Structure 1
Amino acid sequence: MQCDASKLISYCWNLREISDRCGEEESEGRSFPITSLPIFPRLTKLTIKGVPKLSLETVDGILQGCCHSLYELYLWGMESWECMPESIQHLTALTSLCLIDFGMEELPEWFGNLSSLKSLQLYNFKRLRRLPSMDAMRRLTTLKRLVIKRCPELVIKSEADYEWPKVSHIPHIEIDDRPPIHRRRPESWIQPFPINY
């Protein structure tokens, strides 16, 4: 079966199963209950948003099925999710990650394992107070762009702030409506995800 390299799971308010049809006739495809998900070994881009009935465990299962191929992930969580899908840490090819609406106070330490990450965008984390440790953030050696918007508890306004040393090595930083900080010209520009609220 041939399948597109990208998938969009969006605004499916009552989603209870996922199909592997990928453009085939409906009668030929198989549907999977959320507890028995298909594997997408060639999937390179994935967007999940507007799917309130998907549990954190289900999203985790979807990500496990594409852990070596996925390089772009746009994940709209829920404020009630106080942690992230653990499978994100195993996305070895991931270069661009956009996370919206999570309820945790601190990003997990395993963020430092995302060694290919070039662009990280965090939106609407209302309780987020801390980034991972300095050691974890410094392991993100390929990170060129950091965007943090509508995260009111996370204070990174100046070099005097506690979190500043964790991000000071990143060439391009955008925080809320302040002018972007450019340290040096990035080797290649990373196209941001379009955010439509």
Structure 2
Amino acid sequence: MAAALCPALKRVSLKHMNNLMEWKVPEAAAGGMEVAFPCLEELEFNRCPKLKRIPTMRHFSSKLVRLTIRDCDALSHISGGVQALFPLLEELYIERCRELKSIPSMSHLSSKLLRLTIRHCDALSDMSGEFQASMTSFKYLTIEYCSNLASIPSLQNCTALKVLSISKCSKVVPIILELHSLRSVSIRSCEEACVRIRWPLSCANLEDLKIEHCRELIFDDDLHGGELLPSSCLQSLVIMRCEYLKSVPDGLERRLHSLVRLDISGCPNLSHIPEEFFRGLNQLEVLHIGGFSEELEAFPGMNSIHHLSGSLKELKIIGWKKLKCLPNQLQHLISLTKLKIYGFNGEEFAEALPHWLANLSSLQELTISECQNLKYLPSSTAMQRLSKLTLLNIRSCPHLDRNCLKGSGSERSTISHIPSSNIGVERNSSKNK
């Protein structure tokens, strides 16, 4: 049998080889050699734009722990060649291979796999096979910018998976989350995806959940039924731009006692938030909410927001055209340090902000943006009561911008005590004189 090539070689990196089209194992070695590089642990192809094929994987060491393929635009497929692809492989990165149509079956991946990352593979339409139950070390899965990918394999066997990120995969349809092990989930800009969460029973350890710009979000579990479970570990929940989300399910709040950040916004068909939703969210510090159904004439769920009076530090509230005023329940949020009022742009919205704004005694920053009809701040007396207010931002509010500008602005004296301001075209942070 012929001697192996480079028997001690552990790392091979082919970079910036602009004219490389194929890498072949030498003929002399191929005849009697099972493995060309028996000790190889890391293999990288990077910025080889004309590379059309790479050697059959059986020529490489079974000791390989990291395989990286980046910026190889002409590469159309990666062949496995063996039933178990690299039995010790821990990390597989496939990025910016825009003509790549097929990758090794998930069934062929190493049981030792720790991390799988696939990014910017526009031609990839399918990930064949299933993740195996033997993959007990698999913790990180990232799939991004694969615009033709229609589905991903079931994750039900990935019992160690901790971090899942799927973004900019516009054709992916079903995504089911049902894992005890998950700590962080981000699913973004998957416009056709229906995300199903079998939770909290199956995602009891989840700390960070972000669902953004997806078609629909469904909570499969009966949130009322069954035995009352301990509070979940969830600290951050972001639900943004889910087009077909119509309601926040009753009973969800019973699972959110550890929540620190909550964002439910930009869901144009959402019309229902349970009236007791904010009860028990005693740890909540940051809340972004609004941008709901244009048919609503009042904010849903506000009757329980006073339960956040001792914890909430930052609030961004987003309006829509039918709203005539801010929810008056906000006046109870005496721990607020930052308030952003955004998008109350209806013609019937009040011309002046309410005097109860002065009750927000901890307020340090106030931002008012895209409120087309708003002309006036609360009275000078009310604004003076906001003794901790140090920064005022007013943007894209044409009437209020004009009234707060230096010179003849009628509201100028109302804000003269605030150390820093950013008013319309002024866009500065200087002492008001």
> Does the alignment pair 1:157 with 2:157?
no
> Does the alignment pair 1:176 with 2:424?
yes
What's the CA shift for 1:78?
1.2
What is the letter of the counterpart of residue 314 of structure 2? E
Output the TM-score relative to the length of structure 1.
0.78
SS at match of 2:308: coil
Q: Is residue 278–residue 305 contact of structure 2 (8 Å, CA) maintained in 1?
A: no
Segment of structure 1 superposing worse, 106-115 or 173-182:
173-182
What's the CA shift for 1:116?
0.2
What is the letter of the counterpart of residue 303 of structure 2? G
Q: CA 1:3/1:49 → structure 2, altered by over 3 Å: closer, same or farther?
A: farther
Q: CA 1:82/1:9 → structure 2, altered by over 3 Å: closer, same or farther?
A: farther
**Root mean square deviation of aligned Cα:** 2.6
- Counterpart of 2:390 in structure 1 is 144
Q: CA 1:9/1:140 → structure 2, altered by over 3 Å: closer, same or farther?
A: farther
State the alpha-carbon separation in 2 of the partners of residues 66 and 55 from structure 1: 23
Q: CA 1:118/1:95 → structure 2, altered by over 3 Å: closer, same or farther?
A: same
SS at match of 2:300: helix
What's the CA shift for 1:80?
1.8
> Does the alignment pair 1:10 with 2:240?
yes
What's the CA shift for 1:36?
4.2
Segment of structure 1 superposing worse, 164-173 or 60-69:
60-69
Output the TM-score relative to the length of structure 2.
0.38
Q: Is residue 366–residue 389 contact of structure 2 (8 Å, CA) maintained in 1?
A: yes
Partner of residue 34 from structure 1, selected from 266, 270, 274: 274
Q: CA 1:156/1:69 → structure 2, altered by over 3 Å: closer, same or farther?
A: same
- Counterpart of 2:156 in structure 1 is none
- Counterpart of 1:89 in structure 2 is 331
Cα deviations across residues 15-59 of structure 1 (Å, max 9, x unaligned)? 322423349xxxxxxxx9634435112211111144337763424
Partner of residue 286 from structure 2, selected from 45, 49, 73: 45
How many residues are treated as equivalent by the alignment?
177
State the alpha-carbon separation in 1 of the partners of residues 246 and 426 from structure 2: 38
Q: Is residue 44–residue 71 contact of structure 1 (8 Å, CA) maintained in 2?
A: yes
SS at match of 2:399: coil
What is the letter of the counterpart of residue 170 of structure 1? I
SS at match of 1:65: helix
**Unmatched tracts of structure 1, length 5 or more:** 24-31, 185-197
What is the letter of the counterpart of residue 165 of structure 1? S
> Does the alignment pair 1:166 with 2:396?
no
State the alpha-carbon separation in 2 of the partners of residues 3 and 85 from structure 1: 30
Q: CA 1:77/1:3 → structure 2, altered by over 3 Å: closer, same or farther?
A: farther
Bigger CA radius of gyration: 2
What's the CA shift for 1:9?
4.4
Cα deviations across residues 61-89 of structure 1 (Å, max 9, x unaligned)? 35233222101001111132111111211
**Unmatched tracts of structure 2, length 5 or more:** 1-230, 258-271
State the alpha-carbon separation in 2 of the partners of residues 71 and 4 from structure 1: 18
What is the letter of the counterpart of residue 69 of structure 1? S
